[in-house]
């Protein structure tokens, strides 16, 4: 009988790799904003980074799933990490905004491919019975990165420059790739060869995802509703700083404390999540977690005082840890690993497209109407989506969906 140390050996190594990469990503994200701001002195140029990242995700996810499902996941993860490392090392050497945008486009493309690839690899590596625990620990690491990443970036800016922070991220990615080399190979060789042509492959893969979505409509409805939650959260978050400073009249320092409170909420929620996750059904983790997250946004966006805003920030961050753990577990247990890359990429494409549209609408509406009206409207829509998600998650007739693994799901040919 295997000991705990033996059964958790590779999951622990994988968690270490994820943690290092997450911290590096936060450092890179903050440093890149400062580099562009220092280069141009323009806030619009910084906003352009967000547009470039979103466009890159849309472009990449259109075809990436077809590649991911046909390649060796371990080797692809290593290659993507090394590719990002090389491009990130070149960033501080660039003095042209156009070249920086171009480089960010390709770095984001690699990152967009890495997420569904790593999700598929995790699903193959982690047995069904350990996935919920693994995902709760992963959520804890993400929350730790949310706190330590900006702190490390700030320290780098104090003793060095944004360029130094960029190099720290490159080292983190390279270290993540090195750790992945020691991970087991969970599949055979790549399956790229075909005589039908690449466009035909992509077309057939899109048809497969559509057929799968029709046959397993409940599974994909939960997926879509959770994605809709993410879209509304991202769009509302895009006005967070403006809401805090212009509507609540907070100083930059007070806003910084508000962000720290959100970080404390994520960390607290993740810690409690790891302790009780095995006792809570996956359906309730998703449903109740999403509902409380949306309620937290309502409290935040409806607030008129710093105290109420702080409570809203803490609540929404606290509950998000539970919702994410539940969703990751549901996704891994109900999407077959053979099509996980394609489904994740194509639905990720839809989500990224909706984020671009919704964020643009929110930005324009905030100028034409008011920031308060827009963020409250966004939170209200989010609450309605979360109520629907909760109802569908706890339907007694769908309890079996949360009790079987993806291996029992037949792929629609």
Read off the pLDDT of residues 245-299 as tens digits, 9 standing for 90 and up: 778 887 766 776 777 788 788 888 888 888 887 788 888 888 899 999 999 999 9
Contacts (Cβ under 8 Å, ≥6 apart) of 172 = 20, 21, 23, 24, 27
> Residues 285, 335: one domain?
yes
Residue 191 lies in a domain: no
The pLDDT value given to residue 47: 66
Q: Where are the alpha helices (DSSP H) in 303-406?
A: 306-334, 340-368, 371-393
Residue 211 lies in a domain: yes
> Residues 229, 365: one domain?
yes
> Residues 233, 361: one domain?
yes
CB atoms within 10 A of CB 175: 17
> Residues 64, 203: one domain?
no
> Residues 100, 157: one domain?
yes
Q: How would you class 304 by CB atoms within 10 Å of its CB: exposed for 0-12, middle for 13-18, buried for 19 or more?
A: exposed
Final residue in a domain of this structure, among 130, 152, 183: 183
> Residues 120, 223: one domain?
no
Range of the domain at 132: 1-183
Final residue in a domain of this structure, among 183, 215, 232: 183
Per DSSP, 182 falls in state T
Token pair for 286: 């998703």
Token pair for 375: 């963020």
Residue 411 lies in a domain: no
Residue 409 lies in a domain: no
pLDDT digits (tens, 9 = 90+) for 296-327: 999 988 888 888 888 988 898 888 888 888 88
Give the integer Cα–Cα distance in Å for 154 and 171. 17
Token pair for 124: 């193959």
> Residues 154, 246: one domain?
no
Residue 302 lies in a domain: yes
Please report, for the domain that includes residue 89, its CATH number: 1.20.1250.20
> Residues 229, 364: one domain?
yes
Q: Are 110 and 85 in contact (CB under 8 A)?
A: no
Residue 158 lies in a domain: yes
Contacts (Cβ under 8 Å, ≥6 apart) of 207 = none
Final residue in a domain of this structure, among 121, 150, 183: 183
> Residues 339, 213: one domain?
yes
> Residues 80, 215: one domain?
no
Residue 34 lies in a domain: yes
The pLDDT value given to residue 362: 82
Token pair for 244: 């805090």
Segment among 37-51, 183-197, 287-301, 326-340 with least mean pLDDT: 183-197
Number of domains in the chain: 2
406 pLDDT more than 50: no
Dihedral of alpha carbons 369, 375, 378, 383, sign: negative
> Residues 26, 64: one domain?
yes
> Residues 109, 205: one domain?
no
Segment among 92-96, 168-172, 238-242 with least mean pLDDT: 238-242
Q: Are 131 and 329 in contact (CB under 8 A)?
A: yes
Give the integer Cα–Cα distance in Å for 204 and 213. 14
Over its C-alpha atoms, the chain yields an Rg (Å, rounded) of 21
Residue 405 lies in a domain: no
Q: What is the pTM of this model?
A: 0.77
């Amino acid at each position: 009988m295997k000991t705990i140390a033996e059964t958790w050996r590779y999951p622990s190594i994988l968690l270490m790799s994820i943690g290092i990469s997450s911290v590096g990503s936060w450092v890179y994200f903050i440093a890149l904003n400062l580099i562009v701001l220092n280069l141009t002195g323009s806030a619009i140029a910084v906003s352009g980074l967000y547009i470039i990242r979103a466009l890159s995700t849309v472009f990449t996810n259109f075809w990436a799933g077809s590649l991911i499902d046909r390649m060796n996941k371990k080797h692809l993860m290593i290659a993507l990490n090394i590719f990002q490392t090389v491009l990130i090392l070149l960033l501080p050497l660039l003095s042209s905004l156009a070249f920086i945008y171009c480089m960010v486009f390709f770095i984001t493309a690699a990152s967009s491919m890495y997420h569904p690839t790593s999700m598929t690899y995790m699903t193959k590596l982690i047995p069904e019975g350990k996935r919920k625990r693994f995902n709760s620990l992963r959520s804890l690491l993400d929350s730790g990165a949310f706190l330590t990443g900006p702190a490390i970036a700030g320290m780098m800016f104090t003793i060095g420059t944004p360029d130094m922070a960029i190099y720290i991220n490159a080292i983190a990615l390279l270290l993540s790739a090195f750790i992945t080399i020691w991970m087991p190979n969970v599949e055979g060789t790549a399956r790229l060869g075909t005589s039908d042509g690449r466009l035909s492959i992509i077309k057939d893969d899109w048809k497969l995802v559509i057929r799968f979505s029709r046959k397993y409509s409940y599974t994909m409805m939960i997926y879509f509703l959770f994605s809709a939650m993410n879209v509304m959260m991202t769009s509302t978050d895009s006005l967070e700083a403006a809401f805090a400073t212009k509507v609540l009249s907070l100083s930059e320092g007070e806003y910084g404390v508000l962000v720290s409170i959100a970080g404390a909420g994520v960390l607290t929620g993740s810690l409690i999540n790891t302790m009780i996750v095995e006792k809570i059904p996956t359906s309730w983790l998703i449903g109740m977690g999403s509902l409380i997250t949306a309620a937290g946004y309502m409290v935040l966006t409806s607030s008129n005082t710093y105290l109420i805003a702080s409570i809203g920030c803490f609540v929404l961050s606290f509950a998000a840890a539970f919702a994410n753990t539940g969703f990751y577990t549901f996704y891994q247990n109900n999407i077959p690993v053979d099509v996980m890359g394609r489904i994740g990429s194509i639905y990720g494409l839809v989500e990224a497209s909706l984020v671009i549209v919704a964020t643009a609408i929110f930005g324009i509406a905030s100028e034409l109407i008011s920031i308060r009206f827009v963020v409250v409207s966004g939170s209200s829509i989010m609450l309605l989506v979360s109520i629907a998600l909760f109802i569908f998650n706890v339907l007694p007739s769908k309890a079996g969906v949360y009790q079987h693994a993806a291996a029992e799901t037949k792929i629609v040919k």
